[in-house]
A and B are shown apart, each in its own frame.
Chain A
Amino acid sequence: MIKLLRIELKKILTYKIFWILTGLYFLFLALGIMMAEFMINSSVNQINSHMPIPIPHVRLYFFPEIWQNITFFAGIRYVLIFPAIVIIILITNEFTYKTIRQNIVNGMSKEEFLVSKLEIILILSLIITLVIGIASIVLGLVNSDDRSLSIVFGNSLFILGFFIEILSFLVLAFFFGFMFRNTGVAIALFTLYVLIVEPVLYFVLKIPSLHLKGVSTYLPVNSVIRVVEYPAIPFLKKTMGFVLQDHVSFLTCMVPLLYSAVLIGIVFWVMRKKDL
């Protein structure tokens, strides 16, 4: 296992596109996090100019709500797609450069090759989760007055939920990479599916006369996004007692994990059958 990981790291660490895309993910995420509070508050300001009693400014990044809010932004499909494209490129490169053939010829088994890619998915998910976790703690400590442990780590289970989100999203990318083998085709179809096909399907399934509303939430990408589905907006809770989501449920975590297991199984089966 360690041997495979070392081989994989050798392939990745000097690869510029890997760093650029991973960097872009964090950049967009940071921008998104900064912009979100600012945008909401600038519209609050607008509303306040017509209101006799001003609405308080919304604050998203203090404990314990910060966990839910940051993981929500990090899990938006438009942002998640960056590390997913990284994974697709790392896989399809092996077919473009024919290095997968060379690896097999040199004495790797097909299974080992697949495991090496899964290890990278696991490591990348862990690192991104870790960075987001640390960022949440730092940002939270700066913004919060109450720093007691129970408050600081109150909603920290959301970070686990996010880990499951990114892990299963990257497994979907792994599936597309191995099924289509060509970088352009795999990225195009993946993006098309994630950003267009599934959202459209989601709304079609929700048409009441079809009686398929239940199915819509179990679509692959939707089931991933649903783990941390909504941000926590304390203002809504305080004024209207309205809560969209306040915890990560075990059941919503199981659905994307189940999808991952099935997709990995299909990839192993197909790769064993198909010539390289």
Chain B
Amino acid sequence: MSVQNITKHYGRIRAVDGLSVEVRKGDVFGLLGPNGSGKTTTLSILLDLVRADKGSFEWFGKPPSKESRKKIGSVIESPNFFPYLNAVQNLEIVSRIKDFPPDDIDRVLKVTSLYDRRRSKFKTFSFGMKQRLAVASALLGNPDVLILDEPTNGLDPLGIAQIRDIVLEVASQGITIILASHLLDEVQKICTHVAVLNKGNKLFSGKVSEVLAISDSFELWSTVPENLAKAISLHPRFKNAEKNGNMLLVHFNGVVTAEEINSFLFSKGVVLSHLAERKRSLEQHFLELLQDNK
């Protein structure tokens, strides 16, 4: 899937502003951004619900068509089904639209633990069950790509865990997943790649593991804190230090390794009793990215 330069205005508001993204086969791609950052609009454009004002996109290396949509399973925002039909009847409609025989329905209902309630009307379902039915419908016929827009939004912790387990299970089968979320934790747990959006702009994109690898802070602790503070401030990449009880939290400019700090301090005559790398969580990184953009 690739997107070139798409833009969508709603009146004077730019929901998506010149966005370009590429998702390769097998990626678990997170589209991360606060509410109103253009995630849903982007997915709506990709699924032909909304027409982009500018730009273009491709699925499977071809211009989008209803045939390409049949190979994509999607959960968009809220679960959309007929309330007076039961789970099986609702999925039969989906199967028919996608030109699949209805034999896959039992399987997806079992995967989402809805099989026992398959003859219950959709309106009798709890919100968690509705959302699972949406996932079940997206999984019908083993799609090549799974699109999930805020799949855990509004769910209780158990519901969130259930959805995540299903998604991780699907991801392990090598199905490409595009997940939009404002929950960093979710993206961190599920995705291999991430793009951070804000106000319709892409702030950052890359591998989740790379984002996590950046560490520029260390926790230091010595029996003689005054000496430690003095010595570390002499480090060429020193940025600033915060005192946190006995602990000293030191930030550096750029990447510094633990060995380098240890040997540097030792050469200044300071012996450390504690040295720990402070990995920035995606969350901090995300907040910083948003901050920088203001």
Contact = CB atoms under 8 A, between A and B. Distances in A.
A107 B76 contact: no
B84 interface: yes
A3 B67 contact: no
Contacts of B13: none
Given A10-B89, A105-B49, A108-B66, A97 B83 contact: yes
A98 interface: yes
A275 B49 contact: yes
Contacts of B99: 3, 107
Contacts of B67: 107
Interface string B49-92: 11100000000000000110110101010101111110001001
Interface stretch (A11-19, A72-80, A221-229): A11-19
Contacts of A16: 84
Contact of A104 (B48, B78, B82): B48
Nearest to B51: A275
B85 A106 contact: no
Interface residues of B, number: 29
B93 interface: yes
A115 B69 CA distance: 19
Given A10-B89, A10-B93, A276-B50, A105 B84 contact: no
B97 interface: yes
Interface residues of A, number: 25
A235 B48 CA distance: 62
Contacts of A112: 66
B80 A98 contact: yes
B94 interface: yes
Contacts of A98: 78, 80
Contact of A106 (B44, B50, B82, B94): B94
B47 interface: yes
Given A3-B96, A103-B97, A107-B70, A275 B82 contact: no
B245 to A, nearest CB: 53
Q: Which 3 A-B pairs have the closest CB atoms?
A: A107-B70, A98-B80, A102-B80
14 contacts: A3-B99, A11-B85, A11-B93, A99-B81, A101-B76, A102-B80, A104-B69, A105-B48, A106-B69, A106-B70, A106-B97, A107-B67, A107-B70, A112-B66
Interface of B: 44, 47-51, 66-67, 69-70, 72, 74, 76, 78, 80-85, 89, 92-94, 96-99, 137
Given A14-B84, A98-B80, A102-B76, 6 more contacts: A14-B85, A101-B49, A104-B49, A107-B69, A107-B70, A112-B66
